[in-house]
Amino acid sequence: MILQGKSFISTVSVHKSVEFKNIFEPLGANVIDFPMSEILAMEKTPVIQSVIRQIEKFQWIIFTSANGVVHFHRLLKEIGNESQIPNGIKIASVGIKTANAIENNGRKVDFTGSRNTVENLVDDLMAKESLQNCNILLPLGNLAPDTLEKRLSKIAKVTRINVYRTVKAGIADSGPVELIKNNHYDLILFTSPSGMDNFVETLGPEIVNREVRVASIGSVTTLAAEHHGFTCVLTAKISTYEGLAHEIINYYNT
């Protein structure tokens, strides 16, 4: 097995880490959970309730993550008593996984970006669809940048609601800390800038150093790593869990 004896520390939630384990463990690697972030539901504020109750005024809803899809549909059911997005509204997705999450909630996606980044989605959508003066809803997480809002607000009426929040996770197990401290691991897997920031804050300068071996899911996370003084061993060309896994397998198989 090409990854026999390798140890990868996963900084995603235990639930999401299963995706890495399903790929790496059959190839002989050990995936160790060290979650740096936790996804929580947002409160049903008056603004969120108003938006959900007027859902049919929107021509487009744009999703950038499966988390956004899941938590938006929770709000849709709890506030609007709707099991799915009304058929008259078009739906755009940043990537295939997000599109699959939407389809699991009863709707087909009308537009999917050619790559798994917000920037590409905006470019593709604006090039191929007429968005002029459309009402567009963005169900996002609290840490999502304002890239979509800024770009789309130049031609459309954009409403953003934060449907979930990402918070720092506490250390439930000191085992991974000891592995990192004693250099008994091969790679630490990062999938978001917030996970990187939380990692540095949680471990502190006495453990974190520039020799930490980082595998990044994409360019945005790599920039966060470089901000903290790390050099990424590798960066996925396709910003998905599978894309990162593919890059890691190639790295050890060449």
For 86-124, the pLDDT digits (tens) are 999 999 999 888 999 999 999 999 998 877 778 888 888
Q: Are residues 182 and 88 in the same domain?
A: no
Q: Are residues 46 and 156 in the same domain?
A: yes
Indicate the residue among 135, 166, 197 that finishes a domain.
Answer: 166
pTM over cut 0.85: no
Summarize the confidence of residues 143-147 as an average pLDDT: 89
Q: Is the CB of residue 7 less than 8 Å from the CB of residue 29?
A: yes
Q: Are residues 117 and 177 in the same domain?
A: no
Q: Are residues 44 and 162 in the same domain?
A: yes
**C-alpha–C-alpha distance, residues 25 and 130, integer Å:** 46
**C-alpha–C-alpha distance, residues 252 and 240, integer Å:** 19
User: In this model, does residue 2 exceed pLDDT 90?
Assistant: no
User: In this model, does residue 156 exceed pLDDT 90?
Assistant: yes
Indicate the residue among 114, 142, 166 that finishes a domain.
Answer: 166
127 conformational bin, left if phi > 0, alpha if psi -120 to 50, beta if neither: alpha
User: In this model, does residue 210 exceed pLDDT 80?
Assistant: no
For position 135, what pLDDT does the model report?
Answer: 97
For position 185, what pLDDT does the model report?
Answer: 96
User: In this model, does residue 20 exceed pLDDT 90?
Assistant: yes
Report the CATH number at residue 217. 3.40.50.10090
For position 205, what pLDDT does the model report?
Answer: 75
Q: How many domains does the chain have?
A: 2
Mean of the per-residue pLDDT values for the chain?
A: 91
Half-sphere exposure of 225 (CA within 13 A, CB side): 24
For position 128, what pLDDT does the model report?
Answer: 83
The whole domain housing 75 covers: 40-166
Q: Are residues 145 and 113 in the same domain?
A: yes
Give the tens place of pLDDT for each residue, 78-87: 998 988 999 9
Q: Are residues 32 and 60 in the same domain?
A: no
Instruction: Please return the burial class of 223, using the count of CB atoms within 10 Å of its CB with bins 0-12, 13-18 and 19+.
Output: middle
Q: Are residues 225 and 156 in the same domain?
A: no
154 belongs to a structural domain: yes
Summarize the confidence of residues 223-228 as an average pLDDT: 92
Q: Are residues 60 and 144 in the same domain?
A: yes
* Phi–psi pair at 183, nearest 5 degrees: 60, 40
